[in-house]
Structure 1
Amino acid sequence: MNIRRRTALAAAAALTLAAAWPGAAFAQKKIVLGFSQIGAESEWRTANTESVKAAAKDAGIELKFADAQQKQENQIKAIRSFIAQKVDVIAFSPVVESGFETVLREAKAAKIPVILTDRAVNTKDDSLYVTFMGSDFLEEGRKAGHWLVDKMKDQKGEVNIVELQGTVGSAPAIDRKKGFEEVIKADPRFKVIRSQTGDFTRAKGKEVMEAFLKAEGKKINVLYAHNDDMAIGAIQAIEEAGLKPGKDIIIVSIDAVKGAFEAMIAGKLNVTVECSPLLGPQLMQAVKDLMAGKSLPKRIVTEESIFPMEVAAKEFPKRKY
């Protein structure tokens, strides 16, 4: 067989293979995912980052990772950089809800699909992102509220609550406040007497709780913290003020990180509502599905539980974050 005929037959075979498996010709091309993380403000966020990095490695996806250090301008820069690098998919956890419309339009114009993880954005045009995967923050606030109402059902008189909010303008801070208030407003005994941001950090949680204690002292019956790290910071402030956290002040928080379980085992935290950071595998599956031309639901909700102090010792060994 001459060389020309052999070449022609090889080309024909390659075309047949490509027709049978349209993706075969591109099988060697690695999917590139650009991921912009909020920062490293809490145990939860660190676990979330580790989950994304490990899952990308396991899935054989090339991950371009950017840490926004809790600044929206850094996040917008990172997304623009991903667009310039022509990544296949962009995913990010928005620092705050608003102000992303312009950069999302730029991604859409570049035909790069966007996945929101953990937090939502506030936009009039929801075609600017493919899906939002993560927790139902409103429901987390409601769970915290229902637990508290049940816990205090036999208490006589007013229930004075101080609230440590998450980052101002962020989806979890907005929704966890709203969901909690929705439940407690049915009972006039429950009153939020102080509410201030602790930026989801341990240090700020301690600092703000110190201010709450100076202003309200023994009037405080309950602390509702939008995450465990702020609650753990606040526990230090309560102890330094000579009070017993978990007894003198009932503490309700959200995330269910290992640190919260340790505080519950020590009797210093009463309950934590789960918000799972382990979104990596789910995210990589969504990226692969997108690249394979599959359509995704607009909302992918994570399944989660609630852990009161009484079950902490039993559940602690099972915790992955």
Structure 2
Amino acid sequence: MSMSMKKVSTAPRRTKLALAVAAIAVSTTAAVPQAFSATPTAVSTTVVGARVLASVSSLNVRTGPGAAYTRVGALSGGSFVLGVVNNGWLKISSGPYAGRYTSAGYLTVVKPPATAAAGSTVTGWVALTGGIPANVHTAPGFKYTVGRTLASGTAITGKVVDADWIRLNGTGGYVNRGTIETLSANVTSVNGSLPAWALCPVNRAYNSPQPFDPGYTATTRRYLNCNAVRSLDALQSAYKAAFGHYASIDLAYRTYSEQQYWYTTLGPKYANAPGASNHGAGLAVDFQEWEGHTTEFDWGGAGSNWLRANGGKYGFTQPYAYGTDGESYHFNFAG
């Protein structure tokens, strides 16, 4: 199943987007502390990351900010959500409950993690999805052999080696920190709903020059997982040395809303369902594509061939067999 989508001739394509999830407690196993102020002093527009308290067995999602509004769903304890808090209610900003509300009193703020020092312990889950596993190397670096892989959602615990590598406890081996997320064991609940602090901007010099739907231009900022950005910068330096210019990028991180748009527009052949795309994990890049035109990133193109041969040196892999219906321009950051 494809993880990105086709551009239609010269018409623009695609979308940048939104974030999250939500609502009020049905039952709890313990008294629940209030995590947010019930009466903020001003109207907030700031998106926050939050988690449903583990002591809450079910948290209602409602159509409006109050218990009198219709219940439309529920969140389980520990679920990660994004939204804006006002008057004791969080308005969900992405995911299947975008635009709905949940009681902020049953949420705790998820703050940006401090940079883990070498030797500290990290616990998390493989963020890659869509059947793409994370690579486990025999030593901390892309140049070392991939001894095995870890499937999506696999729980890991390990010691921090440096900014980019974790040594796995027990089984050993090394995974790139970019392939591991620490927000939720339910990786689909985070996919497409990453808070701003979990992403880093991609150099605009890499952007494709042509505009495409819906609203992308040569100056539209793209984002990726921060470890993936560092690797992409190294890849781009090597690409420019080989070709005299950077490898043009169409898309990187996509929010839940954007993924929903393309899944609805193009169907499962060219877009994974929301919550199941590596773009939503900030771990996928679409290099330039332009249907009806020959480009360097088509099957057999010089750029595509170079990326397939060299991308792994920087943690980026092409998941499709050469020359198939798969997308020649799509690469995942698998570490």
Same fold (TM over 0.5): no
TM-score, with structure 1 as normaliser: 0.26
Counting strand residues as a fraction of each chain, which structure ranks higher?
2
Pair member with larger Rg:
1
Counting helix residues as a fraction of each chain, which structure ranks higher?
1
